[in-house]
Structure 1
Amino acid sequence: MNRKRHVWITVSAALVSGLLVYGVYVLQLRQVKFQETVEVVVPVRFVAAGERLQADLLGMKQIAKASYVPEMSLHPEELGGMEVVVPLGANEPVLSWKVDKFRLLPGRDQSTFQIPRDYVLSVSNGIRAGDRVVVYLSGGGAESVRLFPDSVTVASVKTSGNVEIDDMDHSNLKSLANSNKEGMYAARRDANGMIDSVNLNLTESQWLRLDSLCKDGKSKVVIAYSSDSLDIAKAGESEP
């Protein structure tokens, strides 16, 4: 009886030892794998050029450290709101040159439209190229409404002499690209020139709606500066 008990204890001890050894091996293997790989941001599906990256489009993927390059992103929050410059494949590491925060060129399904002066009731005098603006409809005997639910991008703002309005010494566009909120404010304060024409990046349906509502002269649009531009700059300042 004692002999059988001794054999059982020996076998149990061997099994426990084996499990401990296996557990240590698995932990060491995971540690080695962690040290030899890095997690990078990837899109979870194909993303076409012109699409804006949102949280639900982004995931993480482990790649070998030897394959990592500084242009790859490690933090999904850094890419929120970025616009894709070239198509991205699913699970393809997102490189910095493939996305852009501020694009003056129209995105996918967009064109750049110069808004006719006869269509405009008022324009916020502080808007500059690269800003986000909100478009409202006024007049026509109807209640004033917001024309588009989302803000739209200003492609350019020019004077009657076809000169882009900006402060040449402290460019608003440079400040915008550097997420410098103070520089953006200073550029608006110091820039001179009355706005004569505004070019907006709109989809075809947006332009057709605006044109159909304003071409009879009964309704006009109000183009207002949106806080989206400053919010994006502020978010850029808070990035590590």
Structure 2
Amino acid sequence: MRKRRNAIISLTAAVLSASLVYGIYELQRVHMESEEMIAVIVPNRFIGAGERLQESDLEYKTVPQAVYVPDMVMKLEEAAGKETIIPLGKGEPLLLWKVDEFRLQPKRSESTFQIPKEYIRSISNGIRAGDKVLLYASGEGHPSERLFSAAVTVASVKSSGNVEIDNIENPNLISRAEGNKEQMYASRREANGMIDYLNLNLTEEQWLLLDGYCKGGALKLVVAYSPESLDLAGAGEDGGL
């Protein structure tokens, strides 16, 4: 009887010991798997260039941590609402440079205004769509002054043929999205064309002030490229555009 009881106890202890070892193994395996995989954002369908991403277009996908790169998007809010620069394949990890960090659409409080040519005294030929510019009022017999404390966003710059001025082979916006300041500089140097049409994203109050200054003809605008454009490119963020 005692031998039978000892055998049962030994068997029970062996089963418990085996269960403990197996449990520890499973915990270690799950822990290792969780460390080796990482969740990133991917499109759940093919998305063409120029489309504005919605949360419903995106989903999470786990990928091996070994293939992770810092440009991969890991949060929905980092991509939702932004425009695609190039087509995106279904299920491919979304990279930050593939979405437009510099939205050319006006904010809710803004509208896009085309600035009349007769309002402009001078304009920096180096500006491109997506840039930040500073506006100054200048005229004979009037002290020059800066119109707005903050720089405003350029929605587009076009030639007399209604063609966006840029370098076709190395577009400025793509260089900006990649944070490539050197390529941005090169694209500005190599782009050809005289700026005839300038569109700016302005609030109603900003437009009314600008129009009030310039419609009489005594004061005109000096449009200057702002170094804030390069700061935004290096930071890789939209800067509230």
> What interval of TM-score do these two structures reach, taking the shorter chain for normalisation?
0.5 to 0.7
Matching residue of 1:9: none
Residue 143 of structure 1 deviates from its aligned partner by 1.2
Distance 2:80 2:140 in 1: 36
Residue 234 of structure 1 deviates from its aligned partner by 2.0
Matches within 5 A, 1:128-167: 128-139=128-139, 141-167=141-167
CA gap of 1:163–1:171, structure 2 versus 1, over 3 A, is same
Q: Normalized against structure 1, the TM-score is what?
A: 0.59
Matching residue of 1:120: 120
Residue 173 of structure 1 deviates from its aligned partner by 1.0
Matches within 5 A, 1:85-124: 101-124=101-124
Instruction: Point out where structure 1 has 5 or more consecutive residues left out of the alignment.
Output: 1-31, 37-66, 74-78, 86-95
Q: What one-letter code is carried by the residue in structure 2 that aligns with 1:186?
A: A
2:221 aligned with 1:221: yes
1:180-224 CA distance string (max 9 Å, x none): 101101110110001111100000000000001100100000000
Instruction: Point out where structure 2 has 5 or more consecutive residues left out of the alignment.
Output: 1-30, 36-59, 63-71, 83-95
Residue 84 of structure 1 deviates from its aligned partner by 6.9
The answer to whether the Cα contact below 8 Å between 2:177 and 2:236 also exists between their aligned partners in 1 is: no
Matching residue of 2:178: 178
Distance 2:140 2:146 in 1: 14
3-state DSSP class of the match of 1:185?
helix
Distance 1:219 1:83 in 2: 42
The answer to whether the Cα contact below 8 Å between 1:84 and 1:100 also exists between their aligned partners in 2 is: no
The answer to whether the Cα contact below 8 Å between 2:102 and 2:130 also exists between their aligned partners in 1 is: yes
Q: Normalized against structure 2, the TM-score is what?
A: 0.59
Matching residue of 1:209: 209
Matches within 5 A, 1:43-54: none
- Number of positions where the alignment pairs a residue of Structure 1 with one of Structure 2: 164
Identity of aligned residues (%): 59
What is the CA RMSD across the aligned residues, in angstroms?
Answer: 3.5
